[in-house]
Structure formats: C-alpha cells, structure tokens
C-alpha cells in the first residue's frame, strides 16, 4: 500500500488577505509559506484551495464560507489581523463562525510576544464552522512557521507549543478527516483513546 493510501485525504483552504498583493503591487508570500509548511508537516495527501483577496470584510467572509462548503476541513488565513481600519480578517471570520475557539488566538499571541511586545495588537482568532476549523495566522512567512510549529530550545525541546499540535484533534472532534503529522516538524497531540493504530498494523491478515 502506498503512503498516500494509508492516510485520509484532506482538502485545505489557504487564504492570503492583502489589498496590495491582490492588486499585483507586490508578490504574495503568505500562500507559498502556508503551502510549504503544511506539505512538510502533514503525512496526508493534501489538496489545496488557494485564494488571494483584498481586505474587504464581505469578500473575506464569502471566501471562507465558499471554502468550508467546498469541503475544506481546515482553512488558514494570513494577513489583516491588526488594529488598522483595513485589518478586518478577524471580523470577517467571526461573522461566519458557529463557534469561537479562543485558545488558538491566545496561543498565537503568546508565541508572538517572545519576539515583539506589539504581538498584543494582533486580533487573530480561531473558529469552527460546520465541520471545518478556520484559523487566522500572521502575515510573514517566518511568523507563520513559528506560530504553527512552536518554538524550540537550543537542545531541540519544545519551549512554546505551536498551535498546529492541537489542530488534528480539533478536526477529529468536529467530524473532519484524521490528520497525521510528521513528528519531526510538529507532533500532534491526541488523548490515547483518540489515537488510531499505526498504518499497517492490526485488523487484517
């Protein structure tokens, strides 16, 4: 059996929110950064739905609903989470949420505060809509990786857990596919009762 056949396929929406990048003023870096990190972290076969859109609240909300309706178990946004008037990604996300998951935003700010005191200005949120988890991430590729993966000490031990460690179990609980991570990148945490047997063990002759 191929590796791809052992793991649930997953559809993931990635959305970069930027007036200037969507207008072609500069090249977007958020979408490539998200896709590269997720390909490193996940063992599942992934289909990406990518969107580059301006900082318009109605457009952001409509895009998130579209991606959820298209079957994306996870939707990640990047950009537009500060206090400036055009930073409306969190507002657009909350507007279409069925449930808010405040712990994701809290942990993202804790990671950011290790680097800059202005991390408290971030309004990033995590929400659930139907069977999908939606997370607002920072705009810079380095910050995206740090937020998802967490921070490590010099000896390689975890200093601050990244938010992605909790993502697979959250998606389990809302009825999505079983995501499996590469532990070298980000070790997902599940209670023992929620673990699947390793691929290739048990249940067959």
pLDDT band at 203 (very low <50, low <70, confident <90, very high): very low
d(CA 32, CA 39): 11
* pLDDT at res. 205: 39
The mean of the pLDDT values for the chain is 93
**pLDDT tens-digit series, residues 20-58:** 999 999 899 999 999 999 999 999 999 999 999 999 999
d(CA 188, CA 1): 24
**pLDDT tens-digit series, residues 179-189:** 999 999 999 99
CA 85, chain centre distance (Å):
24
In sequence order, the 6+-apart residues with CB closer than 8 A to the CB of 195 are none
């Amino acid at each position: 059996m191929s590796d791809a056949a052992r793991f649930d396929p997953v559809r993931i929406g990635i959305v970069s929110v930027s007036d200037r990048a969507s207008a072609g003023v500069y090249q977007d870096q958020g979408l490539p950064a998200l896709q590269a990190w997720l390909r490193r972290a996940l063992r599942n076969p992934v289909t990406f739905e990518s969107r580059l859109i301006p900082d318009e609240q109605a457009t952001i909300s409509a895009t998130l609903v579209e991606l959820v309706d298209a079957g994306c178990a996870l939707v990640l946004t990047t950009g537009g989470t500060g206090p400036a008037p055009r930073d409306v990604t969190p507002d657009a996300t909350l507007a279409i949420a069925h449930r808010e998951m405040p712990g994701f935003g809290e942990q993202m700010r804790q990671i950011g505060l290790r680097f800059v005191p202005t991390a408290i200005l971030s309004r990033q949120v995590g929400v659930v809509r139907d069977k999908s988890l939606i997370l607002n991430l920072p705009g810079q590729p380095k910050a995206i990786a740090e937020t998802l993966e967490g921070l490590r000490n010099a000896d390689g031990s975890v200093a601050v857990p990244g938010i992605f460690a909790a993502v697979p179990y959250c998606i389990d609980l809302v009825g999505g596919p079983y995501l499996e991570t590469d532990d070298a990148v980000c070790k997902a945490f599940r209670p023992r009762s929620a673990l699947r047997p390793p691929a290739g063990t048990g249940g067959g002759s």
